[in-house]
Amino acid sequence: MNKYLALSQEVKDGIAKGVPIVALESTIISHGMPYPQNVKMAREVEQIIRENGAVPATIAIVDGKIKIGLSDDELEMFGSSKGIAKVSRRDLAEIVASKRLGATTVATTMIAAELAGIKFFVTGGLGGVHRGWEHNLDISADLDEFAQTNVAVVCAGAKSILDLPATLEYLETKGVPVIGYKTKNLPAFFCRDSGLPLPISSDDLQHIADTIKTKWELGLKGGVVVANPIPEEYALDPKYIDNIIANAVQEAEEKGVVGKNITPFLLGKIVEMTGGKSLEANIHLVKNNAKVGAQLAVSYFS
Ligand code: PSU
Ligand code: MN
């Protein structure tokens, strides 16, 4: 085991018993949702993973270690504290070396999961190619992580705060399979359908598990995106949310928000502008991903 990893007792016991482990990120807690809903979400998502036959491992950086499995107090701390660093690939070594608190993004959660031998990871949405990439060159490090790190990520697609067609093109260039679960099109986070067709779609988790296994057995390095749409009853109206997203993007531009701050800024604005409706949708889609992600991990190992 890598000397920078620290596994929780629950994760150690799970590994010893051969129960599949499902990783969870901490940036969604520290920078993606307001307190206290973020902590409640994190606890409920862990519980859903347990109920579906896997062991949850929320990942974050504490005191010079990458923790694989947070305690209840740590979940509370990551949800309620201000000033926790958002840690992507570029930031990881420095935050660990300086023993600061760090919340892991999709990219760093994948890195940590691979170091710990975990193959499945559940979250809400991926980072992607930002709108205006032609000028700002803002492409989330999440996407290149999928090109090199062997972890399958269950998510609800990506938000239309991003340039979704460009995001799919980028993933294709990097050779990353994007598999729609019970959908032929890429889900757009709050909405079930972005209108962008996916080359791979399946209604069968065992088939998706077999595809992932075959990819890695062929020596094809890198991750897999499993795109799982938000349940119908919680989906937001596309016109309504797209209008709000456009306003949030415009406000970010006017305020000159750039770099790692842009995604948290937009997420916060959208919660504010929807009066919390987007938060409710966000929580429901993560829970749905937790159920599917745990079932997929169980299928993979059965
Ligand atoms: N999208 C969401 N919620 C989130 C994030 C993205 O709907 O919390 C977070 C994830 O941690 C993701 C990160 O990895 O934002 C991407 O940030 P950036 O665009 O700066 O790479
Ligand atoms: Mn960026």
Q: CA angle 137-104-68, nearest 5°?
A: 150
Is the distance from CB of 115 to CB of 250 less than 8 angstroms?
no
Q: State whether the Cα torsion 119-78-282-148 is positive or negative.
A: negative
Q: What is the model's pLDDT at position 252?
A: 96
CB atoms within 10 A of CB 85: 19
Site to probe by mutation for ligand 1, drawn from 38, 84, 142 as the one with most ligand atoms within 8 Å of Cβ, is 142
Q: Is 142 labeled as ligand-binding? A: yes
Q: What is the model's pLDDT at position 135?
A: 94
Residues 82, 83, 84, 87, Cα dihedral to 10°: 140
Kindly give the number of the ligand 1 atom that is closest to the alpha carbon of 141: 21
**How many angstroms separate the CA atoms of 56 and 120, rounded?**
10
**Residue 32 Cα to chain centre, angstroms:** 10
Q: What is the model's pLDDT at position 191?
A: 97
Low-confidence ranges of the chain (pLDDT < 70): none
Q: What is the model's pLDDT at position 102?
A: 98
Q: Among the CATH numbers 1.20.140.10, 3.40.1790.10, 3.60.20.10, 3.30.450.80, which is that of 5-301? A: 3.40.1790.10
Q: What is the model's pLDDT at position 154?
A: 99
Q: Is the CB of 159 under 6 A from ligand 1?
A: yes
**Annotated active-site positions, please?**
25, 159
**Ligand 1 atom 21 nearest Cα:** 140
Tell me, in angstroms, the distance from the centre of ligand 2 to residue 163's CA: 12
Q: What is the model's pLDDT at position 160?
A: 86
Task: Fill in the amino acid letter for 190.
Answer: F
Is the distance from CB of 92 to CB of 111 less than 8 angstroms?
yes
Q: What is the model's pLDDT at position 205?
A: 98
Residue 77 phi/psi, 5-degree rounding, is: -65, -45
Before 36, cis peptide (omega within 30)? yes
Q: Is the CB of 88 under 6 A from ligand 1?
A: yes
Q: For 219-232, how does the pLDDT look when each residue is reduced to its tens digit (9 = 90+)? A: 999 999 999 999 99
Burial 165-204 (b: 16+ CB within 10 A, else e): ebbbebbeeeebbbbbbebebbbbbbbbbbeeebebbbee
Task: Fill in the amino acid letter for 70.
Answer: L
Q: Give residue limits of the domains in the chain.
A: 5-301
Q: What is the model's pLDDT at position 180?
A: 98
The whole model's pTM is what?
Answer: 0.98
- Across-strand partners of 185? 197
Q: Is the CB of 32 under 6 A from ligand 1?
A: yes
Q: What is the model's pLDDT at position 1?
A: 85
User: Residue written as tokens 């969604």?
Assistant: 28
C-alpha distances in Å from residue 80, one per residue of 36, 39, 86, 99, 293 = 7, 8, 14, 19, 26
